[in-house]
Amino acid sequence: MGEGQSCDDSSDSRSSSPPSPSSSSAGPDIASHAETEILQGIQEFLAEHPEFGSATTTESVPDWAQGKRQRVRFTNGRNLLFYLKDGKVVTVYEWSDTEGRKKIFGGAYTAEYARDVDRQSEGELPDYTVIKAINLLAGGKNADILVPRFSANTPRATRKKVAFAILKKEGLRSLSMYSTREAYKADYSSSFAEEHPEASNGFLGSISMHSGEFSD
């Protein structure tokens, strides 16, 4: 739906995706009241995504057409609005006084896709090596992953599924995948990339847990 669409309760009940809150409704002025307990679906989501921080207080807000909503505030100052469908978090918006609201989770990473990732995680993953992992200032880790069995010709859908499965298995916030160490070196060294122009062919793609977007 459009960026400016309201989260009014009169939304068509046939809508299949969370309406994007207006800049005013995403902020502190949204009709709400304090609660004492985080919804179970949000608790499960935060258990899988510790990079969001530790929750302190919650506020209930009117339900959207496909499920519940709840605002959660965190010890790190974050103010997040969660949309749930069938008890699972499908979209998260963040509000700040300086930047307004922005979508930080949702889109491609729906509850249905999460279940698909679970099935992939339970299956056999190709052999892979964590080349390097670093702690991010915002929390969580980013890693560079070597998957020698794959190539740029491996179907994109397969690379995306495996990337998400590794992301979840390793507890990462984001990752980049390579089929060769030369491709990894070329991604970080412009001089190496110039000397070995074919090395970049070994780049398999990158993915972020927050956006659910896979880039290759």
13-66, pLDDT tens digit by residue? 344 556 555 444 444 444 445 556 899 999 999 888 877 788 999 988 888 888
Which range of residues forms the domain containing residue 201? 114-215
Ranking 51-55, 83-87, 151-155, 189-193 by mean pLDDT, the lowest is 51-55
Tell whether 124 and 73 lie within a shared domain.
Answer: no
Tell whether 194 and 146 lie within a shared domain.
Answer: yes
pTM: 0.47
Instruction: For residues 203 and 150, give the distance between their C-alpha atoms in angstroms, rounded to a whole number.
Output: 10
Instruction: For residues 56 and 5, give the distance between their C-alpha atoms in angstroms, rounded to a whole number.
Output: 29
Name the percent of the chain lying above pLDDT 70.
Answer: 73
Tell whether 48 and 133 lie within a shared domain.
Answer: no
SS3 content of the chain, % helix, strand, coil (to 5): 25, 30, 40
- Give the pLDDT score at 72: 94
Task: Say how many CA atoms lie within 13 Å of 196 toward its Cβ.
Answer: 15
Per the model's pLDDT, the better-predicted residue between 129 and 11 turns out to be: 129
Tell whether 185 and 160 lie within a shared domain.
Answer: yes
- Give the pLDDT score at 143: 95
Other Cβ atoms closer than 10 A to 210: 20
- The amino acid occupying position 42 is I
Beta strands in the chain (DSSP E): 33-35, 55-64, 67-74, 79-85, 88-96, 100-105, 129-135, 141-146, 174-178, 203-208, 214-215
Number of domains within the chain: 2
- Give the pLDDT score at 18: 63
Per the model's pLDDT, the better-predicted residue between 116 and 163 turns out to be: 163
pLDDT at 196 over 90: yes
Instruction: For residues 157 and 162, give the distance between their C-alpha atoms in angstroms, rounded to a whole number.
Output: 9
Tell whether 168 and 210 lie within a shared domain.
Answer: yes
Mean predicted confidence (pLDDT) in 63-81: 90
Tell whether 172 and 97 lie within a shared domain.
Answer: no
pLDDT at 71 over 50: yes
Instruction: For residues 58 and 78, give the distance between their C-alpha atoms in angstroms, rounded to a whole number.
Output: 12
Tell whether 101 and 126 lie within a shared domain.
Answer: no
Mean predicted confidence (pLDDT) in 168-180: 91
Tell whether 95 and 141 lie within a shared domain.
Answer: no
The pLDDT tens digits for 101-153 are 788 887 544 444 445 444 544 456 889 999 999 998 877 899 999 999 999 88
